[in-house]
């Protein structure tokens, strides 16, 4: 597994006086305009989700996940040593999906929601649901928590080329894998893993856009109401122009 070398932090120039004709001041005006417009996803401003239309909310949801999560993950897969960062993004898909699928908050139940999301996404893997749930728990503990709390996968998770998106090592009984035995390791192929997650996201969008899927759509809307704070006052960071320019120096 490759390790990127440390790169020294770039030296910053000391603050200086600025005239209104300088590019940085023009950039401040542009930044202020973008702040007022309050873009809530790569392609939409907050006006998009204030229409009250469920279809508009789904558009925003798709835009966020497709361009803030999946597209960057795909791009990282083509970067040398980028697989670990891509995997970190992809592991962030499962818990949020379970929130939208169930229509309830995951507070205090992060691991259970991660498991529910993972099991749904990888339900076509030819193993028992019990084993799939145990794989999910390992990916949560040694994968997601390892990356986000320690900056590295823990000892039972490996990244590499595999015949499928996941390769699980189990003890054997009479030469056959024991699905009830302790999982010894999981090898993840990030490229194949990405394909499964992206395919599932597309399938979910298709189902939540279908008016006949009443429960799925109602649960999605409940999750939006819980997580997006649409009806709350806009959060504004108050500062003067001078303070703003100093913060960018």
> Tell me: the pLDDT tens digits for 168-208?
888 888 888 888 888 888 889 999 999 999 999 999 999 99
Instruction: Identify whether 198 is part of a domain.
Output: yes
Number of structural domains in the chain: 1
Instruction: Identify whether 177 is part of a domain.
Output: no
Instruction: Identify whether 200 is part of a domain.
Output: yes
Per residue in 105-116, pLDDT (tens digit) is: 999 999 999 999
β partners of residue 157? 186
Instruction: Identify whether 218 is part of a domain.
Output: yes
Enter the pTM of the model: 0.76
Instruction: Identify whether 58 is part of a domain.
Output: yes
Average pLDDT of the chain is 81
Q: How far apart are CA 146 and CA 47, in angstroms?
A: 38
Q: How far apart are the first and last CA of the chain?
A: 38
Q: Which helix (H) or strand (E) holds 162?
A: none
Q: Range of 203's domain? A: 54-153+192-224
Instruction: Identify whether 99 is part of a domain.
Output: yes
> Dihedral (C-alpha) 225, 229, 230, 234: value to the nearest 10 degrees?
170
Pick the residue with more confidence: 194 or 50?
Answer: 194
- Residue 14's contacts (CB-CB under 8 Å, 6 or more residues apart) are 249
């Amino acid at each position: 597994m490759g390790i990127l070398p440390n790169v020294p932090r770039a030296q910053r120039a000391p603050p200086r006086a600025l005239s209104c004709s300088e590019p940085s001041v023009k950039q401040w005006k542009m930044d202020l305009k973008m702040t007022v417009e309050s873009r809530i996803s790569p392609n939409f401003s907050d006006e998009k989700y204030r229409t009250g239309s469920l279809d508009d909310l789904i558009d925003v949801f798709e835009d966020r996940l497709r361009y803030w999560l999946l597209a960057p993950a795909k791009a990282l897969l083509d970067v040398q040593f980028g697989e670990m960062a891509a995997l970190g993004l992809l592991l962030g898909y499962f818990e949020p999906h379970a929130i939208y699928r169930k229509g309830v908050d995951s507070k205090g139940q992060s691991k259970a929601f991660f498991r529910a999301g993972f099991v749904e996404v990888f339900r076509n893997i030819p193993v028992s649901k019990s084993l799939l749930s145990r794989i999910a728990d390992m990916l949560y503990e040694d994968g997601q928590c390892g990356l986000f709390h320690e900056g590295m996968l823990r000892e039972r998770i490996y990244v590499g080329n595999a015949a499928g998106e996941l390769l699980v090592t189990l003890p054997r009984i009479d030469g056959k894998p024991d699905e009830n035995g302790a999982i010894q390791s999981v090898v993840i192929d990030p490229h194949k893993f990405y394909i499964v997650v992206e395919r599932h996201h597309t399938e979910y969008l298709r189902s939540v856009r279908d008016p006949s899927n009443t429960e799925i759509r109602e649960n999605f809307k409940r999750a939006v109401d819980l997580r997006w704070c649409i009806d709350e006052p806009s959060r504004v960071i108050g500062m003067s122009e001078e303070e703003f320019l100093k913060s960018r120096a």
